[in-house]
Amino acid sequence: MTVRTQVVVIGGGQAGLAAGYHLRRLGIDFVILDAQTEPGGAWQHTWDSLHLFSPAAYSSLPGWFMPPQAGEEYPDADHVVTYLRDYEKRYELPVERPVRVQGVHRDGELLRVETDSGTWRAGAVISATGTWWRPFLPAVPGRGDFDGRQLHTVEYRNPQDFAGRRVIVIGGGNSGAQIAADLAYDTELTWVTQRPPRYLADDVDGRALFDAATARRRVLDEGRTDTGGVASLGDIVAVPPVRAARDRGLLKATPMFTRLVPGGVEWADGTRAEADAIIWCTGFRPALSHFVPLQLRGRRGHIATDGTRAVDEPRLHLLGYGDWTGPASATLIGVGRPAREAAREISALLAGTT
């Protein structure tokens, strides 16, 4: 089967849906191809206690505010999944599931999108595949020697799985702090971070982060000196469970160890900690392997972009992967603006006016 359309959007999480919203408004013919069997992108797979770090109204995609969740100032992941499902229906976005894109190829005037369920040919492609699907594990000596359980953030669900166990959580970002807080009450926890944890002020939540990202964008647009945006504020949003565990003295960070050993980990001075499980909360990389045929890979697995447009392939836009594809573009509220810009640029490209 080969289908011809104007634009293929790869990925049907929040970024793909925001792109769909703007493409529809511009009257462009498109399809969204999503590898999941159900709507909701990565939000379907997060740990049980995860809540957003912003209130609902500050977690909205273009066009329609996220409804508040009864009894919760900060909605949980299930609420986000419901919102994304309803958003798709509301705007009648043409999502095909499950369809996994295997490769994007140049094909004369068009791009050819090969999938496990057929081929699409399009004048432009927007990639919105997120990062959840490419967990990052640092190269630490002895990883194969440890004989307990090792898992990444993406596999962690709840503390019941580890009750009474000795658990080492690695990572001083939001995932590390939240998972450590989740485990602090029922396990023998060691929390390991590369540098001392940097908490944002307790009254700073996702709203302030979004404001900082917006301010940074303005500064960059006006050619003024970069403020450093969100990263300058700290690493960890002190969401209520993190604050509670920290204030009870349960979140004490230990510096990074040097290697793993059969029963645990070891620091440079020979000190050891025993562990039944090690949870690597060490981040993600963009899921871009479908672009291997285009040979666009640049530094750190990124593709060079100007806004959302790939510098070396103007028919390709990248959306939602992080600040390098638009300030705050990896958040619900932040992806709307780069999605609009990508759709406008593609509209001009298809009309031959660029």
Interaction site with ligand FAD (CB under 6 A): 10-16, 33-36, 41-43, 46, 52-54, 59, 100-101, 128-130, 132-133, 175, 206, 287, 290, 320, 330-332
Which residue's Cβ has the minimum distance to ligand FAD?
13
For the CB of residue 92, give the shortest distance to ligand FAD in the complex, in Å. Answer: 19
CB closer to ligand FAD, 54 vs 69: 54
134 or 259: CB nearest ligand FAD = 134
| All residues at 6 or more sequence positions from 86 whose CB lies less than 8 Å from its CB, including other chains | none
Q: Give the shortest CB-273-to-ligand FAD separation in angstroms.
A: 25
Closest to ligand FAD by CB, 251 vs 330, is 330
**Per the structure block, which two tokens stand in for 223?**
């050619």
Q: How far is the CB of 266 from ligand FAD (least distance, A)?
A: 29
* CA–CA separation, 202 and 200 (whole Å): 6
- CA–CA dist 71, 60 (Å, integer): 18
To ligand FAD, the closest distance from the beta carbon of 261 in angstroms equals: 29
Residue 52 CB, nearest distance to ligand FAD (Å)? 4
For ligand FAD, the closer of residues 53 and 146 by Cβ is 53
Q: Which is nearer to ligand FAD, 129 or 282 (CB)?
A: 129
Nearer to ligand FAD, 81 or 265 (CB): 81
> Residue 58 or residue 146: which is nearer to ligand FAD going by CB?
58
- 3-state secondary structure labels for all residues of the chain: CEEEEEEEEECCCHHHHHHHHHHHHCCCCEEEECCCCCCCHHHHHCCCCCECCCCHHHHCECCECCCCECCECCCEHHHHHHHHHHHHHHCCCCEECCCCEEEEEEECCEEEEEECCEEEEEEEEEECCCCCCCECCCCCCCCCCCCCEEEEHHHCCCHHHHCCCEEEEECCCHHHHHHHHHHCCCCEEEEEECCCCCECCCCCCHHHHHHHHHHHHHHHHCCCCCCCHHHHHCCECCCHHHHHHHHCCCCCEEECCCEEECCEEECCCCCEEECCEEEECCCECCCCHHHHHHCCECHHHCECEECCEECCEEEEEECCCCHHHCCCCCCCCCCHHHHHHHHHHHHHHHCCCC
* Residue closer to ligand FAD (CB basis): 55 or 148: 55
Smallest distance from ligand FAD to CB 237, Å: 8
CB of 101 to ligand FAD, least distance (A): 4
Please, what is the minimum distance in Å from the beta carbon of residue 145 to ligand FAD? Answer: 29
